Structures are given as C-alpha cells and as structure tokens.
Chain A
Amino acid sequence: MGMEIKKQYWNEYQKEIAQDDYFYERSCIRQTFFPGSEATFLNILRDELGKKIVDDPKIHTCTGIGYHSDIVPFDTTMTICARLFSLMNGAGLKNYVPSCVTSFGIFNEVLDTWKHYPEELEKTRVNLRKATGREFEVPDNIAHPSDIIYNFRKQLKLKMKYQLVNRKTGKPLKVVEHIGCHYSKIFAEKSIGGAEFPHVLAGMIEEWGGEVVDYPERRHCCGFGFRNYLVMANRGYSVANSKKKFESMKPYKPDFILTNCPGCAMFMDRWQYTIAEMEGTTYDENGKGIPVLTYEEMTGMLLGYNPWDIGMQVHQVQTESILDKIGIDYNPQDKYVGVSGMFLGEPEKPTNLVV
C-alpha cells in the first residue's frame, strides 16, 4: 500500500479540532463528582496554552441523562441544545466544547439530525423563538475537551514536570484507557481514531511516556446504562458490566485506568469499592483496587499541580500509588483540607477495600 493511500485511509480516523476561542459547557456528572477536573482543564487552556475559553454561568444541562432515560422528548432536547448554542453565539464564539461525553454524543446527534432532516432544524428554531425569543446558529466546530488536550499534547509535554514512568524501574506505567461509548460509538467520524482505533487517550499516554494496555474488553461499556443505574433496582446491570471489564484488564496488572467520560470515571471507581465490599474481590495484588483518573487529572498531575487541588482525593480507590510510582511529592496532611484551610476529617475506611 502506497503512503498516499495509507494517509487517505487514516484520514477517516482524524477530526478537525478548533485551535482557539472556545465556549465551554459544564457537565452534570463531571462538575458534581470531579469539579477539580473541569477547573484543571480551564486552567490548562488559559495558563499553560494561552487560549480563550468562556465559562458562561448561564449554561445548563443538555438533558442528556434525561433524554437517554427517555423522560425528555427529542424535541425538547434539540431546543435545549439550541439555547446553549444561542448562548455561545451571544459570547461571539463558534467553537463548542461540552465537558461531558454524553453531551458530546447528544450534540453530534442533534447536528446530524438537522443535517439530514432540515425540517427538524426549522422546527427547533420555531420552538426556541416561541419559548425564549432567542435565535441561534450552529457551531463551526464541536470538540470534546480531551480532543483539545490531545491536540496540544506535544506543547503540554514541554511544560510537564513528570512523565508516566516508574521512577524506580525506569519503565513506562501501564495504563488501560476507556474512551466512553458516546465519544465514538454513535458517530465514529467525530472522534479521534473512531470506535476501532481509539486514540484520544492513548495518544496522551504514549506521548507522555506511558504504555497503553490493549485488553480484550477495552471497548465494552462501563455499565452506566442510564436507567440501569438511575433506578436502584437495576444497578446489578451496571456493576456487572464494570466487573466484566475489571476481570478482563486484571491479568495485565495496569498501574491505573484512564477515563474520558465523567460517568465512566465515577462508575469504574465506585464499582470497584462495591465489588470489594460485596464479595471481597479487588483487581490488584494489594487489595487496594486499580486507581482511576480523569484525563484532566492525569494532565494536571504531570504538569506538577498539587494533586489535592485537582481532586485526586475524591476517588474511592486511592490514587497515591500513582504519585509514588512516578515520584511526585505531595503532602498527606493536605489531602482532606477544605478551601478555608480547615481539616475536614477523614472519610471512614471501607471494610474490605484497602485505603
């Protein structure tokens, strides 16, 4: 195969990512469980990369969780998305950056619908005008925050204090990554690497010195399943799917799990605790579980940010093993201190999961 043909082939797995001037939309789950990740992303863009990104207080949910659990009609979701686009227009921006992978899928679904069914776009314009008096234009570019970090991974590497390398052995840390279903499974062409060759997180890991572990259930859902988690009676579905992934990755002895999607980060952390408490099973050799990081936390950690300022203490599976392996200095006394400087006490210890 000639190089030109090869290039053409791989073009299908690339996407256009805006270089600057972004409008940020916060995520229901990310801001709730990992607010430090959202703050870290904004700090990286502004302070490390010198980019403009607007964080408008008037933004809100895209309805994604409600839409995928079928209590919000598609007409409503399309119009809510249109209001968010209207806010972006009002800020004078054209590049939309949804913090959440579910939102990323929602916006791509809405835009694809409007492209193939222009009458749906017209209906949405009428609905938004009738409800709010607003008009809107669609974005020029939609990128997930991980797309942007991936795009600038070489520039960021130049600023990093640490690499994903074990300080004692000199070997790369072994990382399993999980890009999240709605990042690439709905519209593969909107993601880096598509559903078959997921590269958005792998590209960061490899660039920053780590080794990506390609395990059999790499592409399997984390198990969120919307209504299958939201309703207590259904949570067996959710934990069973996560368990399938943990069992698949365990033999490769990963140093940590890297996640793209807010929900996946939470579930793959919490279900390890749940499985440990239910049946005493953990997926490492020390009974501590496999730590889970968001890509924003990983980037901030390597840039040398204080791990307790970016949220590495709000995971149930403790993250110190990663810091220790890399050789990152941290103050254990600072871990459970609040914004006021007050020590907030320590969380209770689980029965089985070692913390």
Chain B
Amino acid sequence: MAKIYDLLVKDVRFREGLTACMNCGICTASCPAAEFYDYDPRKICNLVQSKDEEKIVALLKSDTIWYCGQCMSCKTRCPRGNAPALVISVLRKLSQELGYFTESEKGRQQYAINRTIGENIVNIGYCVTVEKIVPKMHPEQGPVWDWYYQNAEEVVDRLGGNYMKEGPGALRIIPKESIDEIQKIFEVTGGTKLSNTIEHFSEDKANELEIPFNSAIEGNDYFNHVFTENSNQHQK
C-alpha cells in the first residue's frame, strides 16, 4: 500500500485545504465542534503535516475526525486560506476506503448515514423528503411536524407543491430518466463503490461485535446501535 500521506495528497481537496499551516490556531478558536467536543483542528493539521504514518493511521481509526460539523468557519478565518474542514473530508474518505472507520464509535455511524441519506439520493433523487423524516426517529421535530407528516399531500399541495405526482413542483416524483442517470453517475464515479465499502466493513464489524445485521433498517440491530450509541466520552 502507498504511504498514507501520499494517498491524502492525491485528493485535490487536500492540496487545496492544507498549505504550510503555521499552527496559529484561529481555526480552533472559531470552530463550533472544538467548543462542543474534545476536538482541535489545529492539532489535526499539525499532525497531518508531520507525515507521521503511525499517527495518521491512529487518527483515521479515532473518533476525532468525525467531530467536525463542516460549517467551514475555519476556511473563512485561516490567514493562509487553508481549510481544515476539507482536510477532514479527505481523512474521512480514506478512513472509509481502508475500513478504519469501524474502529471508532463516531466512525461506525457512517453506516447509518449511508443507509439513510445515501440510499435516498440514488432511490428518490433527494437527500431527504417528507416521508423519510419519520416522527419517532425525530422527536425534536415536534407536533407541528407530526401534523404535517400525517397530512403531507394536503399541506404540501396547499403550499404550491406537487406531492408525489408527475410534473414540476416541490416533492414531485423524480422522473425515471433522472433516477437512472443518478445511479449511473454513482457507478461511474465511485459513489456506488464507496457505499458498498461502507456496507462491507460495517457488516464485518457487526459480526465482530456479535450484533445482528441485515439489509433493512427496520429490525436491524446494528443500524439502531450505531444510530443511537453515545458513550458520552467525547467532550473535554
């Protein structure tokens, strides 16, 4: 296998996101994740710049790279125009490709995101739609959302939408031609491969942890485990 650092540099976002970081720490000062979690983007940039293979592998297996919220405040503030959040994206990509993401609690959550947002994109053409925001999975949405969810077609169409029907408008059915082309794009560009990789390593981890795993979300203990597990060991 190529050296980890060489794999990182292959990604254009890594070259764009990290050039001669001087470790001033303004990224950390402005970072919402650093305020909430035991997280420090300055240290991550410093570690990655060191090109220390062992430490980078440990980073890829840790919870640390999964704390970033991708708000990009770091890019705004960096005096050298770097973007630690882009570096994080590349680290996450590599962690998934190498199967390291299943070694951490926060990394294992990628399985749940792949099975929800990932499947929505290729099957219905959007990351979310009304029927995917199931109230029992989203208690924070409150009773107005419950009312909206129960009366979706009546409400959406009153508001100028075109709920689950053909033609233009909010929440219409996406034509088959578009869904087919989205799926072909995912196959050609590595989207399907990444999804399968996440699935494959997650199933291995489920077997290792002896947590039942299946292809559906309903009744999938491993999905529920990664979606809800919180060890509360993530704050400073």
Contacts and interface: CB of A to CB of B under 8 A. Distances in A.
B110 A70 contact: yes
Contact of B126 (A60, A113, A134, A237): A60
Nearest to B125: A60
B229 A131 contact: no
Given A57-B175, A344-B151, A339 B140 contact: no
A49 interface: no
Interface in B144-162: 144-148, 151, 153-161
A349 B174 contact: no
A107 interface: no
Nearest to B65: A70
Interface string B115-153: 011100100011111100100010011111111100101
Interface string B220-236: 00000011111000000
B219 interface: no
Query: Which secondary structure characterizes the binding site on chain A?
Result: helix
Interface stretch (A36-44, A141-149, A168-176): A36-44
B44 interface: no
Contact of A349 (B130, B143, B153, B181): B143
Interface stretch (B29-37, B50-58, B203-211): B29-37
A29 B171 CA distance: 10
Interface string B175-206: 10110011011111111001100100000000
Contacts of B147: 336, 344-348
A342 interface: yes
Nearest to A277: B142
B118 A66 contact: yes
Contact of B171 (A31, A58, A195, A313): A31
Contact of B71 (A58, A185, A313, A315): A185
Contact of B185 (A69, A79, A120, A349): A79
B220 to A, nearest CB: 14
A130 B189 CA distance: 10
Contact of A237 (B33, B96, B114, B154): B33
Nearest to B137: A232
B89 interface: yes
A227 interface: yes
Contact of A241 (B32, B72, B96): B32
A195 B185 CA distance: 34
B76 A188 contact: yes
Contact of A233 (B130, B145, B227): B227
Given A36-B159, A71-B117, A314 B148 contact: yes
B96 A72 contact: no
A185 B76 contact: yes
A28 B92 CA distance: 24
A59 B114 CA distance: 22
Interface string A223-237: 111111011111111
Q: Size class of B's contact patch?
A: 35 or more
A104 B11 CA distance: 22
Contact of A234 (B76, B109, B143): B109
Given A71-B195, A131-B187, A57 B157 contact: no
Contacts of B106: 234
Interface in A38-76: 38-40, 42-43, 55-61, 63-66, 68-76
A350 B36 contact: no
A338 B160 CA distance: 11
Contacts of B96: 70
A350 B70 contact: no
B121 to A, nearest CB: 5
Contacts of B38: none
Interface string B9-45: 0011100100000000000000011011100000000
Contact of A75 (B16, B125, B189): B189
A347 B144 contact: yes
A237 B144 contact: no
9 contacts: A39-B161, A58-B174, A63-B121, A70-B113, A83-B185, A186-B75, A227-B66, A347-B146, A350-B143
**4 pairs of A and B residues whose beta carbons are closest in the complex:** A39-B160, A338-B154, A225-B69, A36-B159
